[in-house]
Structure 1
Amino acid sequence: MPRGTHPLALPACTALSAAGGDFDALPGQPGVCRDPYAAITVTARGEFRGHPVDWRKKFVNRCILRAATGAVFAFA
C-alpha cells in the first residue's frame, strides 16, 4: 500500500511498478496537448524497491508532462 502525501498515490505507484521503476518507461496518458509552451522540469530522487533513483526531465508544458508520466507527477 502506498505511503506519503502524493495526491494520486495508488495510480502513481501502480504506473511506476508497471514501468519497473523506469521513469522513462511510464505508460502516461495518451491524448492531444495544445497548451502553449510553459516549460516544467520534474525531479525524482530516492529509492525504488531498494535501488537509488535520481531522475530529472524537462517537458514543454504540464500537458506533455501528464501525457508522458500519468499520475506520477500529478502534483507538479
Structure 2
Amino acid sequence: MLRAVTLVCAPTPGGTHPDPVAACGELLANGSQLDPLAAPAADSVCTREWNPMTVTADGVWEGRRLNYTYTFANPCGLRNTTGVLFDF
C-alpha cells in the first residue's frame, strides 16, 4: 500500500503529516542525516521475516535537494523506529 504525506517546516510546521511539530523537530536535530530516524528503538523486538517496506523523503532542506530512501525488513521494523518522521 502506498501512503504519502507532506511536511512543511518553515515558517511554521504544517502539512498533512500527523505530527508536523515533532517531525520538523527531528529534521532540525538531524539535518539531512535521516538514518538515525530509521534506526530501531532500543526496546523493539521484531521477527526476522522478509516483507520489505520502503520509505522515501524527497524535498528541499536548507536550500538543498534531499532524497532519502530506506528499506525496512518488515512492517514491524517501520513501526518500531526511534523517530516519528516516517510514522504515518
What is the TM-score normalised by the length of structure 1?
0.77
Specify the structure having the higher radius of gyration (Cα).
2
The equivalent residue for 1:22 is 33
Among residues 46, 57, 60, which one is paired with 1:44 in the alignment? Answer: 57
Q: 3-state SS of the aligned residue for 1:26?
A: helix
Residue ranges of structure 1 left out of the alignment (5+ in a row): none
2:71 is aligned to 58
Structure 2 residue 19 is matched with structure 1 residue 12: no
| TM-score (norm: length of structure 2) | 0.68
> Which range is displaced more, 9-18 or 28-37?
28-37
RMSD of aligned Cα (Å) = 2.1
* Distance in 2 separating the partners of 1:4 and 1:42: 18
- Gaps in structure 2 of 5+ consecutive residues: 1-11
Structure-2 separation of matches of 1:52 and 1:69: 24
Moved over 6 A (4+): none
Aligned length: 75
Task: Report the residue type matching 1:8 in the other structure.
Answer: D
Identity in percent: 36
